[in-house]
C-alpha cells in the first residue's frame, strides 16, 4: 500500500506535540520483523526527538499523539496513565444495538502474541463506555470511550455484548458485502467479491487533553476513505 507523506497526516502541531491521522495497516511502533513502515519511524524522520505517547492497533485508523521533546512526552504520557485524556472511537458493528452510556467493566488479560481474554482472576481493570450514534437496518455506528488502555479493549468488550465490529474476524465480526445490501447486485463472471472495508471498522475519532500550559485541547481525525465509504454505502442501501 502507498503510505502518504507524514506531513499530509498532521492534524495539529505546535512546539510540544504533533497529532496525526494514522492510516490503517501501518503499525504504531516498529514490528519485530523490521518490515514495513511504522508511525514511529515516519515521525522520527519528520522530527528527530519524536516519541509516540500511546498505541493504536495496526488495522485501526485515527488520531495518534506524538510528543516532540522529553518534557512533552512525560506530560502527555502521565495524562494517559492517569486516565485524564478523553479518547473517542467510532465503530461500525454487526447488528442493531441501542447503547445509552453502557459501561462495560470487565478485566482483560494479555496472553501475548496479539491475544487477550476476559479474566476476572488474572485480568487488569478495563472500562469502556458505549453509545449508539446511528442505527441502520443491519448495522450500528457506535461511539466507544475507553477509560483505560488495554490491548484490544474496545474490540473484546463489544464482543462480550454480541456486538462485534464489522470485519473483525478475531472477535466474531463478519465482512460487509455490497451484494448483501444492494438488490440485484451481480458480480462479474470469474471475479470474487471483496468486502466494502478490508479491515475491522474501528477509527480513533478524537482526543481531548491538556497542553503543557494546561490549556485544554481537542483534536478530531476525519474518517479515512474506506470508513467513510462504508458509511456512505450503508446510508444509501441500509437506512432504516
Q: What would the DSSP string read from start to end of 162-209?
A: T-PBTT-GGGT-----GGGTSTT--PPTT--PPPSSSS--EEEEEEEE
Q: Is the pLDDT of residue 76 over 80?
A: yes
Q: Is residue 239 part of a domain?
A: no
Residues 50/42, Cβ–Cβ less than 8 Å: no
Averaged pLDDT score across all residues of the chain = 95
Strand 139-146 and strand 61-67: pairing? unpaired
Residue 154, H or E segment: helix 153-160
Q: Is residue 240 part of a domain?
A: no
Q: Is residue 1 part of a domain?
A: no
Report which DSSP code applies to 60. -
Q: 30-34, 92-96, 108-112, 212-216 — which is least confidently predicted? A: 30-34
pLDDT, one tens digit per residue, over 6-56 is: 999 999 999 999 999 999 999 999 877 667 789 999 999 999 999 999 999
CATH code for position 78: 3.30.2350.10
Could you list the residue range(s) of the whole structural domain that residue 115 is in? Answer: 6-234
Total count of domains within the chain = 1
Please state, in angstroms and as integers, the Cα–Cα distance from residue 185 to each residue in 25, 72, 178, following that order.
29, 52, 7
pLDDT, one tens digit per residue, over 215-225 is: 999 999 999 99
Amino acid at each position: 500500500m502507498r503510505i502518504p507523506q507524514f506531513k499530509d497526516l498532521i492534524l495539529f502541531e505546535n512546539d510540544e506535540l504533533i497529532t496525526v491521522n494514522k492510516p490503517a495497516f501501518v503499525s504504531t511502533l516498529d514490528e519485530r520483523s523490521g518490515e514495513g513502515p511504522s508511525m514511529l519511524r515516519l515521525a522520527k524522520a519528520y522530527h528527530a526527538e519524536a516519541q509516540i505517547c500511546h498505541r493504536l492497533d495496526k488495522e485501526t485508523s485515527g488520531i495518534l499523539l506524538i510528543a516532540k521533546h522529553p518534557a512533552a512526552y512525560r506530560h502527555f504520557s502521565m495524562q494517559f496513565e492517569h486516565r485524564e485524556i478523553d479518547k473517542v472511537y467510532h465503530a461500525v458493528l454487526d447488528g442493531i444495538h441501542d447503547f445509552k452510556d453502557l459501561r462495560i467493566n470487565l478485566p482483560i488479560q494479555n496472553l501475548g502474541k496479539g491475544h487477550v481474554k476476559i479474566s476476572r482472576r488474572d485480568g487488569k481493570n478495563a472500562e469502556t463506555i458505549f453509545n449508539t450514534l446511528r442505527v441502520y437496518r443491519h448495522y450500528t455506528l457506535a461511539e466507544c470511550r475507553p477509560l483505560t488502555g488495554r490491548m484490544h479493549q474496545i474490540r473484546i468488550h463489544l464482543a462480550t455484548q454480541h456486538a462485534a465490529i464489522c470485519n473483525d474476524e478475531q472477535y466474531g465480526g463478519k465482512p460487509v458485502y455490497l451484494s448483501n445490501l444492494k438488490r440485484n447486485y451481480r458480480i462479474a463472471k470469474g471475479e470474487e467479491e471483496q468486502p466494502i472495508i478490508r479491515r475491522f471498522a474501528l477509527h480513533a475519532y478524537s482526543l481531548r487533553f491538556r497542553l503543557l500550559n494546561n490549556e485544554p485541547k481537542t483534536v478530531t481525525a476525519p474518517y479515512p476513505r474506506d470508513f467513510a465509504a462504508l458509511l456512505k454505502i450503508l446510508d444509501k442501501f441500509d437506512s432504516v
